[in-house]
Amino acid sequence: MEGLKREFNTMTLVLIPVAIAINIAVGQLALLIKVPLYLDSIGTILVGVLAGPWAGALTGFLSNVIWTLTGWYTPAIAFAGVAAIIGALAGVFGRGGWPNMWWKAILAGLITGLVAAVLSAPIASYVFGGVMGSGTDAIVAMARSVGLDSLGANIAQGAFSDPMDKMATYLIVFLVLRALPQRFLARFSNLKPRAS
């Protein structure tokens, strides 16, 4: 219980709604311009890295639920569990200090992206028939054109898009962490301090 109290301090409770707004705004922009990336986990990963796995998981889950309830992207709720796992992984990587070094941030993104791809592909394939209305649909169509079934095409798309997306997201979080003052970062208990 003490660990949860540390994760959900006042700063975290203030940061979570801001992070949710970032996720939805940037994710919606990525949908509108049809890039083959999602960019809807920046806030989730930032909260996870700073506050911990439970706070990151809650941020990811709520982001997808709220995104659906607003009517902007109704499929998002189906991936709320995946978003929660992305946030939890960010908390684990934050405890290890990975987001403090650019190459470890990229590696954390690669690992997170592969996990997200494996978890998301069956949802995209079986719940939505592989068509999500995003920039990744072109990759699914290309994979289908070479003979892959819906699940195989979504796995192929995820194996490409998810790692690229999460590596970009972790690099963005790395840059945000570098820009934030140490005094602000010290208010969160999860992130292992960067070496001077």
Question: The pTM is what?
Answer: 0.94
The answer to whether 125 and 183 are in contact (CB under 8 A) is: no
Which residue in 17, 5, 20, 83 sits closest to 51, CA to CA?
5
- How high is the pLDDT of residue 132? 83
Please, which pLDDT band fits residue 156 given cuts at 50, 70 and 90? very high
30-63 pLDDT per residue, tens: 999 989 899 999 999 999 999 999 999 999 999 9
105-148 pLDDT per residue, tens: 999 999 999 999 999 999 999 998 888 878 888 889 899 899 99
Which residue in 51, 57, 25 sits closest to 39, CA to CA?
25
**2-184 topology per CATH:** Arp2/3 complex 21 kDa subunit ARPC3 (1.10.1760)
Report, as an integer, the average pLDDT of 18-32: 96
Residue 178: C-alpha distances to residues 6, 22, 175 (Å): 23, 18, 5
What is the DSSP code string of 132-178?
A: -SSTTHHHHHHHHHTT--HHHHHHHHHHHHHHHHHHHHHHHHHHHHH
The answer to whether 153 and 12 are in contact (CB under 8 A) is: no
